[in-house]
Amino acid sequence: MAKKSSEKNIAYRRLFIAIELEDSIKDHILSFQKELKNSVLGDVKWVERENFHLTIKFLGETPENLIDDIKSILDETSYYFEPFYISLEGFGAFPSLKSPRVLWIGIEEGLDGLEKVFDFIEKRLVKKGFRKEDRPFSPHLTLGRVKDRDVRILKDLLFDKEVVLVSSITLFESKLTPEGPIYTPIYRVNLGKK
């Protein structure tokens, strides 16, 4: 959400909505990331284990007075959707493995459920003044961000399938520091609240 010049005295927080992962899944991802580090030549900023997550919607710099609206949207989402499963599998890069900028693990099974959750949240956020996504929803788990254009991946790797139960959705605050981002959960809802 872009800051407006008339909103000088409003406090902003950098926010995103995501799916948290269990520790056992984070451990599996970390093991794959370590293998990948040994197969990549070049400068990559690797995501720390505690920051592994699946982003549903990046909100950016958000006025604090909209946080209650976001919480209400998440509450509504929790009543509308039951828990569902997705599978993390495969490995890729944006825009491509030949010229990678972001290294990621993909989503295979359950993608339609994730897209429905995204659409539900997105429509309600747009009504509150948030910008609609320009790009199609492309859920993935970021492993690292490439810092130079000469990065090469030396061997083909594949992330073994990991099934994830999506039973909650979390609103996070992201604080950028020289050591890397710090993600703090500020609101969580469990799916299937009937």
Catalytic residues: 53, 140
Which backbone phi and psi does 74 adopt, to 5 degrees?
Answer: -65, -40
Beta bridge partners of 89: 106
What is the Cα–Cα distance from 42 to 10, expressed in whole angstroms? 41
151 close to 41: Cβ distance less than 8 angstroms: yes
Per-residue burial over 25-37, b = 16 or more CB atoms within 10 Å of its CB, e = otherwise: bbebbbebbeebe
